[in-house]
Structure 1
Amino acid sequence: MQATDSNALPLIDISGLHSPDPVRRAAVGRELRAACESRGFFYLCNHDIPATLAAQVFDYSERFFAQPVDARLSLDKAHSSCNRGYEPLRGQTLEAGSPPDLKEGFYIGIELNEDDPRVRRGKFNHGPNQWPAELPGFRPTMEAYFSACHALGALVMRGLALSLDLPEDHFDDFTADASATLRLLHYPPQPPNPEPGEKGCGAHTDFGAITLLLQDEAGGLQVRDTETGDWIDAPPVPGAYVVNIGDLIARWTNTRYRSTEHRVINASGRERYSVPFFFTGNPDYLVECLPNCLAPGDAPRFPPVTVEQHIAECYRRTYA
């Protein structure tokens, strides 16, 4: 189906969550509830992440992908025990039965050395990052941005607690020592004669709790309308993030909150760059259906699962 011309994603001002006034904080929670129950996607503004830092992230991302292929492949995540580093073009297939995704990427996570007890125990996605030596400002820029997004992810989770009529600190154990992944993505222009079903990024839902997406001006992100099946364009809005609910939140809320399919088709005729930040949560946290998300007589649709177990299975499916 073709994408619709209008975007129907709400714009939510997150600044109210910093207010000492509980009425203002609760108002943000109500907006989040409406967005999560309908689309599972929304724009988020007044988030306190400096525009200058976001611009530096884009600059270093473009410079990384502009390097010769040998330089990029020297940091191939195949060399990593924890899925960190460069992912070559067509390295992932997010839409089952479709060609591999027409994108290349770079994975960054929380920096842990090989002596860390969690790394020694072989916990999934725990370990050191790979960094491009030829770009000396790359690492401090990405680490600063990672930290800022991590704090924003924890704040959004407090808003989601309010949205579900829970205490604001209900998810604090989940956000403590939370895992997260920063991905730099580069999409070449969609070829004029693509393979059947070929896209920049195939239709999928996100694995974790919430995703904070920074995208350039090329556009191309589309969100499935769960009522009609049509695709809704989600163009960039200056100063705002696109935020979506992932599969963990859907499990937690017994699908009351939607983890919605989305895809990327880069029809801009130019290179596209985007930077998703996947806030995953504490790997040891057990996610099980929230009691207030069960109607009388209903049963949980999903068994309890730890964050680590869930994410490991999602990676297995898309990199098989």
Structure 2
Amino acid sequence: MIPTIPTIDLTPWLSGDPAARAATAAAVDAALTDAGFLLVTGHGVTREERAAVRAAARAFFALPVPVKERYGVSVGGRGWLAKGAEANGYSEGTATPPDLKESWTVGADTPTGADPEIDAFWFQPNRWPDAEAPTLRPLVESYLTRMRRVADEVLRLLGSALGQGEDFFTAHTRHPTYTLNINWYPGVSVMGPPEPGQFRIGPHTDFGTVTLLDRQAGQGGLQVDIPGHGWVDAPFDPDALTVNIGDLMARWTGDRWRSGRHRVLPPAPEAPEEDLMSLVYFYECDPHTTVTPVGGPVTYAPVDSSAYLRAKLDAITVTP
């Protein structure tokens, strides 16, 4: 039987009741051991907030390409990633054509003040198309604040689920790196027909600690790779955020929790103009955190989080 990807309500965890918190932590441990994914409700981020971010982003993506090119960046930058900039399958060694998407990327922008090299890459100033899409900045900045709070709460829950204490992971998020990718997946009239083996996002695992994903359901939508069962359509709940474990978290747990391999399918032949948008919040940790496994079936050598993440970003960059 294929393991189910459960929906976990955060309300009992947030209630403060010890028994309810323990039960929630146990359910999370079981879910992540099986699949590396779960859905969470009770996170407090409303549908209206998420819809407002999408609407503001759509106003930007609808602009002519020459206008968007003013904000063009390469992978790891802050601004617009054009079609063809990334191939996420490269991170796992899977040869695919470039991903069929455009992205608007922002992230942590408060420098440490102590490490110029770290600040120059991980805490770059965000760029904003204030003249062309004036509502994007305030809505996204508010969303970033909300998602960081949710991410830290999820990490407290994960610390408890791992039996290491609630502050085990958040001890390493005092000045963390994080990124929000607003991924636009338009239909074939914008992106062109998919090439053989081409995806909206190719098969990969995420790189950091946790990813909080707000997605839209679609035929060309998210699939997850369940060990022993192959690719299955990810469950969808409009009230839920999808949480998946990244590579650093998997290493931290010695693969007790596996990083969730996933992909986003190209437009289906029966729905060639399907248009979807995902809000993908990647939460990482403080720069140069040493990630050392605690238990689990696999013994990994400690890694420097910044070096690990930078190597993965370099790997998915499509060289012209």
* Partner residue in 2 for 1:275: 279
SS at match of 2:88: coil
Pairwise mapping of residues 123-138 of structure 1 onto structure 2 (< 5 A)?
A: 123=119, 124-133=121-130, 134-138=132-136
Q: Deviations over 1:123-163 (max 9, x none)?
A: 43221011012222211100000010111000000111111
User: Do structure 1's residue 84 and structure 2's residue 78 form an aligned pair?
Assistant: yes
Range with bigger deviation, 302-311 or 135-144: 302-311
Quick one: which amino acid aligns to residue 65 of structure 1? F
SS at match of 2:71: coil
Pairwise mapping of residues 234-245 of structure 1 onto structure 2 (< 5 A)?
A: 234-245=234-245
Q: CA deviation at 1:58?
A: 1.0
* Partner residue in 2 for 1:293: 296
Within 1, Cα distance between the matches of 2:63 and 2:192? 25
Quick one: which amino acid aligns to residue 162 of structure 1? S
Q: CA deviation at 1:7?
A: 8.9
* Partner residue in 2 for 1:315: 313
User: Do structure 1's residue 41 and structure 2's residue 37 form an aligned pair?
Assistant: yes
SS at match of 2:198: coil
Q: Deviations over 1:68-126 (max 9, x none)?
A: 11121101114x9x61110001210111311010111011012237xx62573344322
Give percent identity, aligned residues only: 33
* Partner residue in 1 for 2:258: 258
Quick one: which amino acid aligns to residue 177 of structure 2? S
Quick one: which amino acid aligns to residue 281 of structure 2? F
Unpaired runs of 5+ residues, structure 1, are 1-5
Asked whether the 8 Å contact 2:222–2:233 carries over to 1, the reply is yes
SS at match of 1:175: coil
SS at match of 1:281: coil
Quick one: which amino acid aligns to residue 302 of structure 2? P
Asked whether the 8 Å contact 2:204–2:261 carries over to 1, the reply is yes
Is the alpha carbon distance of 1:182 and 1:192 closer, same or farther for their aligned partners in structure 2, counting shifts above 3 Å?
A: closer
Is the alpha carbon distance of 1:142 and 1:27 closer, same or farther for their aligned partners in structure 2, counting shifts above 3 Å?
A: same
Per the normalisation by structure 2, the TM-score is 0.89
SS at match of 2:103: strand
Quick one: which amino acid aligns to residue 224 of structure 1? D
Q: Deviations over 1:178-229 (max 9, x none)?
A: 2110011111225895311011110000011111111124351000121122
Unpaired runs of 5+ residues, structure 2, are none
* Partner residue in 2 for 1:189: 187
User: Do structure 1's residue 176 and structure 2's residue 170 form an aligned pair?
Assistant: no
* Partner residue in 2 for 1:146: 144
Within 2, Cα distance between the matches of 1:23 and 1:273? 38
Asked whether the 8 Å contact 1:118–1:126 carries over to 2, the reply is no
Pairwise mapping of residues 6-17 of structure 1 onto structure 2 (< 5 A)?
A: 8-17=4-13
Is the alpha carbon distance of 1:287 and 1:122 closer, same or farther for their aligned partners in structure 2, counting shifts above 3 Å?
A: closer
* Partner residue in 2 for 1:72: 68
Within 2, Cα distance between the matches of 1:248 and 1:233? 24
Quick one: which amino acid aligns to residue 153 of structure 1? A
SS at match of 1:211: strand
Within 2, Cα distance between the matches of 1:118 and 1:55? 37
Is the alpha carbon distance of 1:97 and 1:121 closer, same or farther for their aligned partners in structure 2, counting shifts above 3 Å?
A: closer
Is the alpha carbon distance of 1:287 and 1:61 closer, same or farther for their aligned partners in structure 2, counting shifts above 3 Å?
A: same
Range with bigger deviation, 153-162 or 264-273: 264-273
Range with bigger deviation, 89-98 or 213-222: 213-222
Quick one: which amino acid aligns to residue 273 of structure 1? M
Quick one: which amino acid aligns to residue 86 of structure 1? W
Within 1, Cα distance between the matches of 2:264 and 2:305? 26
Within 1, Cα distance between the matches of 2:170 and 2:5? 27
Quick one: which amino acid aligns to residue 84 of structure 2? R
SS at match of 1:293: coil
Q: CA deviation at 1:172?
A: 2.3
Within 2, Cα distance between the matches of 1:151 and 1:86? 25
* Partner residue in 2 for 1:121: 117
Quick one: which amino acid aligns to residue 12 of structure 1? I
Pairwise mapping of residues 146-165 of structure 1 onto structure 2 (< 5 A)?
A: 146-165=144-163
Quick one: which amino acid aligns to residue 239 of structure 1? D
* Partner residue in 2 for 1:227: 228
* Partner residue in 2 for 1:3: none
Equivalent pairs, count = 305
Within 2, Cα distance between the matches of 1:47 and 1:240? 8
Quick one: which amino acid aligns to residue 207 of structure 2? F
Q: Runs of 4+ in structure 1 displaced over 4 angstroms?
A: 190-193
Range with bigger deviation, 104-113 or 118-127: 118-127
Asked whether the 8 Å contact 2:179–2:283 carries over to 1, the reply is yes
Pairwise mapping of residues 94-113 of structure 1 onto structure 2 (< 5 A)?
A: 94-95=88-89, 96-112=94-110
Range with bigger deviation, 217-226 or 97-106: 217-226
Per the normalisation by structure 1, the TM-score is 0.89
